[in-house]
Amino acid sequence: MTLSCRTTNEALHSRAEAYKPAKYASETPVIPAPEIFQHEPTAADKDSTSRLPTVSECAIHLELLEVFFVLRERILRSEEIDKSMGIAPKRETKTGHKGDTKILKDTTFETRRKQKWPKYVEFAVARFLNWRSELKKMARPEDISSFRYKLPSLDVLMVWHSFLLNPLFFNKHCRTELIYDLPFPWQRIHECINNSDWSFQLPADDTTQTSPLFDVLSTWESHIPSESSHVPSTTTTITAPLPSFFSKPTVTPKPTAPSLLLPAFTLSSSPDPSTTTSLPTNISCHASLFHIISTSPSLSTLATALHAAVIRQTSFIDKMNSHLWIRSPSLESTLTHAISRYSNFLLLMRRNKGKMLVPTVDIDLAWHTHQCSGGRNYATGVKERVGRFVNHDDDLEKGVLSDGAAETRRLWRLQVGGEYKRCGCWDCEGMLEEMERVVKEGREEGEVDMDGVVKRVEESVGYYRAVEAARRGKRALPAKPNGL
């Protein structure tokens, strides 16, 4: 028997063994297992400034990345946000020489729908900067202590997350602020995530937070006046439907109702908030946020850089979704190895100053999680392990990354030992975990039943894939077979 080394998401579509559906709660699989989120640092590590992330922190990080992935997919599919942005198919009718007519498909529609995600991120950045501004007002330790129990909305968390993943950039802008000492609140984030569908819900007592940004944008179109509408602060009456404020600005000789909305709400331009005070709160409050940013050169520059940082994270989020380790039967083993390999990666950095080392995706996950421990914690911890501050530059060209990866692989083989690259698919991770179990049992090479090892891995991986396929198909989850 052989193992199929394939990308997990592709493998989900292959024919799987039939399983009996779970009839009782006791038969229903819970994946990931709750125990994965209960790993605590050792007593020695709790007070150590060089502590690496725990398995639980990395697992919650994977959960959050899935939440971000699903959020982006929801936005791209949302017809309500299509309407808010004025995105609709452009139907062109052609008449043939015999007088017959055909309506041609709009080949630009799906491309134009992709504009929704960058616009969502613009709003997220504006809301994050407002949240950061509020945080700056806290000056006492007890303020921070109470703040740890309040989470911002998901869009704000997403920008904060991307900010932390650019540590030199974060250090430059936040070193003298309270946010520099704030670790990412992993456990509170975990409590907000429904990992059956990757939805995110803030606790009801977090009443100080604003509405979820998805809800704001998906209902925006209903707030835009149509028919005959008098525009505040102008003498113009508009008789056509008001275009979405997401549209690109048009040049007109004098402000009209559309021009209050069209050029507004970008990180480089916005309307005067006084012209939007009589518009619905969702519009007027965001007008104020964007106005503050666009009229401050330093804030506008920071906002633009944050927007780019969030967009760049899309690639890594897609990679984590492709591997789908959070649903893997070998999740704990994969994360344990990732943290250990990250520790060796830092050692490699210490030994090879001046070399550009490129992490594999599992090491990168542990590295990202370490960066989320907070600006000061990361800076102190990595300096103790490497001897200097280490930035994480996620804006390098592919050619540079390719050369760096080859050199890292060479140095790893020489100085750490073993293969640097990892496949990461469930089959390979399961095989590695099973072989390590066999080694721990002290069996000699000739005593190992390799066919049995492979069969156990195939059965485990096959079942976990069947569970995920059923979950995505909204079918009853299969009951776990005896022996797994």
Q: Which helix (H) or strand (E) holds 102?
A: strand 101-104
Q: Rg of the chain over CA atoms, in angstroms?
A: 26
Find the angle CA(376)-CA(379)-CA(380) to the nearest 5 degrees: 85
Q: Which helix (H) or strand (E) holds 479?
A: none
What pTM was computed for the model?
A: 0.86
Q: What b/e string do you get for 197-236 counting C-beta neighbours within 10 Å, with b at 16 or more?
A: ebebebeeeeeebbebbbebbbebbeebeeeebebeeeee
Provide the percentage of residues in the chain whose pLDDT is more than 70: 79
Query: In which band, very low, low, confident or very high, does the pLDDT at 304 lie, cut at 50, 70 and 90?
Result: very high
SS3 478: strand
Residue type for position 280: P
Query: In which band, very low, low, confident or very high, does the pLDDT at 57 lie, cut at 50, 70 and 90?
Result: very high
Q: With CA atoms as reference, report the closest residue to 325 among 15, 32, 13, 29.
A: 32
**Average pLDDT in the 425-436 region?**
95
| C-alpha–C-alpha distance, residues 367 and 166, integer Å | 11
Query: In which band, very low, low, confident or very high, does the pLDDT at 244 lie, cut at 50, 70 and 90?
Result: very low
pLDDT, residue 150, reads: 76
